[in-house]
Structure 1
Amino acid sequence: MCQHHPQCPAADCSDREAACTVAHHPEQGWSLLCNGVLLFEDTGELLPDGRIIAPHRPLGSEQITTAA
């Protein structure tokens, strides 16, 4: 599907989010990557084969502390 040189990561690769964006709809909260992955603003993904990748937002740099 990808026509870039070098080719973007395939949809089944762990770095699939590094593929180029071919359609971006921030008002609707999603982008289509050239490998066929739908990437949602909450970091969830829909793969071309129908598999769903749950949102995986990185944790903030704040540290949780408890009182001693």
Structure 2
Amino acid sequence: MCQHRTECPSAESADREAAVPVARHPEQGWSLLCNGVLLFDDTGELLPDGRVIAPRRSLLIAA
């Protein structure tokens, strides 16, 4: 559960990546966010319930 003054977005929220990182491992390419989401450097995500959000590489290339 988030203890930040302005509560972080939930893992179910569309803006879940805006949650505060609580652990960072750039050498391994991932960060753990306050809402339990594992955020990977390639923009992929692993949600607390085990769902996988695929990287959005095509959006980055198009931009």
Q: TM-score, normalised by structure 1?
A: 0.84
Over alpha carbons, which structure has the higher Rg? 1
1:20-52, Cα deviation, whole Å (9 max, x unpaired)? 000000000000000000000000000000000
Match in the other structure for 1:27? 27
Percentage of identical aligned residues: 72
More helix by share: 2
1:32 counterpart SS class: strand
Give the aligned CA root-mean-square deviation in angstroms.
1.1
TM-score, length-scaled by structure 2: 0.90
Matched, 1:42 2:63: no
Distance in 1 (CA, whole Å) between partners of 2:19 and 2:61 is 23
